[in-house]
Amino acid sequence: MDNRTFARLLEETADLMEIDGADSFRIRSYRRAAEAAEQTTLDLSAIAGDAARLLEIDGIGKSMAARIQAIAATGTLEQRDELLRKYGAGVLELLKLPGMGPKTVALLWDAGVIASGDSDSPSSNSIDQLAAAIEAGRLNGLPRMGAKQIEKLRKGIEDYRRSAGRFRIDVADEQARQIAAYLKKFPGIERVTPAGSLRRGRETVGDLDLLATGPACAAGQTGPAVEHVAAYPGLHDMIARGENKVSFHVEQGLQVDVRLLPGESYGAALQYFTGSKAHNVALRQRALKMGLTLSEWALAKLDDESVVVAAATEEEIYAALGMEWMPPEMRENLGEIERSAQHDLPRVIEAADMRGDVHMHTTASDGRSSIREMAGAALECGYQYIAITDHSKNLAMTNGLDEKRALEHIRKIHEVDRAMEGRLRVFAGIEVDILADGALDLADEVLAQMEVVIASVHTRFEQSREEMTARVLRAIENPYTRILGHPTGRLLLRREPFALDTGAVLKRAAELGVAVEHNAAPERLDLCDRDLRLAKELGCKIVINSDSHDARNLGKMGYGVRQLKRAWLTAEDVLNTRDAKGFLALLRARP
């Protein structure tokens, strides 16, 4: 069990206790313990047996150490399960709606808007109940439930239902890693590879497709291996169990399809289950024209399917079809099949091409690490430079910098830069807020001293398309703006992009020589793959950044690189694949 699971269970218990009106001091001890579990670098499940070591962690006292031991032993907390039985499993989902905290849930409970379902009711039960109550006007007149709040809830439910059932790429990735590690513990399972949308690097994943191979997966002998899959500790419920395929849900709700395959058809299966469906359909047509048939088992002769042409690796299959192997991110039938057949595929960017990361936050605003810690993490990534870009004062809740603090911060950044003695360049920068009218949040004289000025929208998302477009255009017209940060403001599965004429903004950014960002934080991935294609077509300068708020997050750049691959971008198209000097020169260049 990873620390995040401990943190989640403790946090959920705190939420449920708050709904239940428990003593606020006790609730706070759960939240502090959850925070501690999230922050600590110790592996909680590994040290759970040793109460003394748990007690050394800041924020964990005697009673919380006992709770952590209970979680390690049972995978859950009795307090939490008891409250879930009382309020219904759906209340945890209810808490995911924007503007919905434990206090509001308690209010809805007291008013009889939500009631606990029987134990086998679907988990979305509470959300359905709330939607029905809004529809029937039964929220009107409840305390703190003005028309605006009710409308916000209605919209929140709509968004939630649209994205329900999909999962962020980093969440799916982490699950895939955990399950693969477990599967490989079985002696006859040698290799586990994610396929489907996760392998193609899609920003969200519907279900997880995992392919397993090895001697234990040979045809007719899969019994014990299937047994092992079915015993996965993170399994929540079994969906279907056959000789070659086991489907189940993990506790977080994600569906997992594990397929057990003999080594000789592994390449064919990997190709087939990676998809996309559209890519596979076009590929099969090409095979037919060549007198071949392509299935999840093999590429074979059409007139005699027992004659296998290629099956063991993807490379052999594509080669037998007269094509080059291509990265899974490109397999969406958007021209890659034709280009590959002409041996004219672009060499798309790779994570190893990155030389720097120029958007990250420190403890000066809402980050959790120091400038030095960020620099240390950047060295581990093999980077040559970073830029420290904390928030500006308009974002008060992030402790954003005003002019005075910003100048002081520049000095500290330059200090670290000097201390790195050339091993890493540390640029002074800022993520300056774009105010409601498009003005930047800090004075020109201060911006003029920064090497990297990112301008971003963080407030007033509800503006009309005209207002928002004018606002962003004005911000990029500012001569100090070098990069437009997370241009559409979306939060995957949580907040739609704001209304914006993206085409007009990208076109103007290209004219002005202002770079546009692909923000690689897995909750953003903004610009999306389609807009990235457009940005390239329009001749925009493109930068990709991790937007890390913690030194441990710099590695998440990889999720963004995969979106760039999906957009067919090359290292050449991206500014921060250049060395420090080349990057700065390109960033400053005006057409």
**Binding positions for ligand DGT, rule: CB under 6 A:** 196-197, 202, 205-207, 209, 272-273, 275-277, 280-281
Q: How far is the CB of 280 from ligand DGT (least distance, A)?
A: 4
Enclosing H/E stretch for 245: strand 245-250
Residue number with CB closer to ligand DGT (124 or 276): 276
Residue number with CB closer to ligand DGT (102 or 275): 275
E strands, 265-327, in order: 292-294, 299-301, 308-310
- Give the residue carrying structure tokens 């067919």: 568
Select the binding partner of residue 456 from ligand DGT, Ca ion, Zn ion, none (C-beta < 5 to 8 A, by kind).
Zn ion
Instruction: Give CA–CA dist 24/154, Å, rounded.
Output: 30
Q: How far is the CB of 288 from ligand DGT (least distance, A)?
A: 13
Q: What is the DSSP letter of 435?
A: -
Interacting residues of 24 by C-beta distance below 8 A, sequence separation 6+: none
Q: Give start and end residues of each alpha helix (H) in 95-168.
A: 102-110, 125-135, 147-163
**Binding pattern to Ca ion, positions 247-286, x when CB under 5 A?**
----------x-----------------------------
Q: How far is the CB of 206 from Ca ion (least distance, A)?
A: 5
In the bound state, the residue with its beta carbon closest to Ca ion is: 196
Q: How far is the CB of 546 from Zn ion (least distance, A)?
A: 12
451 binds Ca ion (CB under 5 A): no
Select the binding partner of residue 280 from Zn ion, ligand DGT, Ca ion, none (C-beta < 5 to 8 A, by kind).
ligand DGT
Which of 196, 214, 328, 560 lies at the binding interface for Ca ion (CB under 5 A)? 196
Interaction residues for Zn ion, span 432-461 (CB under 5 A):
456
Which of 12, 15, 170, 209 lies at the binding interface for Ca ion (CB under 5 A)? 209
Q: How far is the CB of 171 from ligand DGT (least distance, A)?
A: 12
In the bound state, the residue with its beta carbon closest to Zn ion is: 456
Instruction: Give CA–CA dist 296/220, Å, rounded.
Output: 17
Q: How far is the CB of 332 from ligand DGT (least distance, A)?
A: 10
Select the binding partner of residue 441 from Ca ion, Zn ion, ligand DGT, none (C-beta < 5 to 8 A, by kind).
none
Q: How far is the CB of 199 from ligand DGT (least distance, A)?
A: 8
Instruction: Give CA–CA dist 323/337, Å, rounded.
Output: 8
Q: How far is the CB of 456 from Zn ion (least distance, A)?
A: 4
Residue number with CB closer to Ca ion (169 or 388): 169
**Binding pattern to Zn ion, positions 335-364, x when CB under 5 A?**
------------------------------
User: Which tokens is 564 given?
Assistant: 């760039």
Q: Which of 568, 564, 530 is nearest to 545 (CA)?
A: 564
Residue number with CB closer to Zn ion (361 or 508): 361
Enclosing H/E stretch for 429: strand 425-433
Instruction: Give CA–CA dist 514/570, Å, rounded.
Output: 19
Select the binding partner of residue 5 from Ca ion, ligand DGT, Zn ion, none (C-beta < 5 to 8 A, by kind).
none
Residue number with CB closer to ligand DGT (122 or 165): 165
| DSSP sequence for 535-563 | HHHTT--EEEE--BSSGGGGGGHHHHHHH
Interacting residues of 196 by C-beta distance below 8 A, sequence separation 6+: 205, 207, 208, 209, 257, 273, 274, 275
Whole-angstrom Cα Rg for the chain: 26
Select the binding partner of residue 160 from Ca ion, ligand DGT, Zn ion, none (C-beta < 5 to 8 A, by kind).
none
Q: How far is the CB of 166 from ligand DGT (least distance, A)?
A: 7
| DSSP sequence for 148-163 | HHHHHHHHHHHHHHHH
Is the distance from CB of 33 to CB of 54 less than 8 angstroms? no
Select the binding partner of residue 340 from ligand DGT, Ca ion, Zn ion, none (C-beta < 5 to 8 A, by kind).
none
Residue number with CB closer to ligand DGT (327 or 367): 327
Residue number with CB closer to ligand DGT (126 or 274): 274
Q: What is the DSSP letter of 206?
A: S
C-alpha distances in angstroms, 166 versus 96, 157, 169?
14, 15, 9
Select the binding partner of residue 109 from Ca ion, Zn ion, ligand DGT, none (C-beta < 5 to 8 A, by kind).
none
Q: How far is the CB of 317 from ligand DGT (least distance, A)?
A: 14
In the bound state, the residue with its beta carbon closest to ligand DGT is: 275
Residue 59 burial (C-beta neighbours within 10 Å; 0-12, 13-18, 19+): middle
CA atoms within 13 A on the CB side of 60: 27
Q: How far is the CB of 210 from ligand DGT (least distance, A)?
A: 11
Residue number with CB closer to Ca ion (197 or 456): 197
Buried b (16+ CB within 10 A) or exposed e, 208-230: bbbbbbbebbbeeebeebbebbe
Select the binding partner of residue 59 from Ca ion, Zn ion, ligand DGT, none (C-beta < 5 to 8 A, by kind).
none
Residue number with CB closer to ligand DGT (156 or 196): 196
Residue number with CB closer to ligand DGT (206 or 555): 206
Residue number with CB closer to Zn ion (12 or 433): 433
Instruction: Give CA–CA dist 526/518, Å, rounded.
Output: 5
Q: How far is the CB of 193 from ligand DGT (least distance, A)?
A: 13
Residue number with CB closer to ligand DGT (202 or 482): 202
Q: How far is the CB of 314 from Ca ion (least distance, A)?
A: 18
328 binds Ca ion (CB under 5 A): no
Q: Which of 573, 568, 518 is nearest to 546 (CA)?
A: 518
C-alpha distances in angstroms, 376 versus 47, 224, 356, 368, 386?
27, 46, 13, 14, 11
207 binds Ca ion (CB under 5 A): yes
Residue number with CB closer to ligand DGT (205 or 428): 205
Residue number with CB closer to Ca ion (257 or 526): 257
Rounded to 5 degrees, what angle do the CA atoms 545, 551, 554 make?
30
Q: In this structure, how many other beta carbons lie within 10 angstroms of the beta carbon of residue 328? A: 26
End-to-end CA distance of the chain: 53
Select the binding partner of residue 117 from Ca ion, Zn ion, ligand DGT, none (C-beta < 5 to 8 A, by kind).
none
Residues that bind Ca ion (CB under 5 A): 196-197, 207, 209, 257
Q: Which residues bind Zn ion (CB under 5 A)?
A: 456
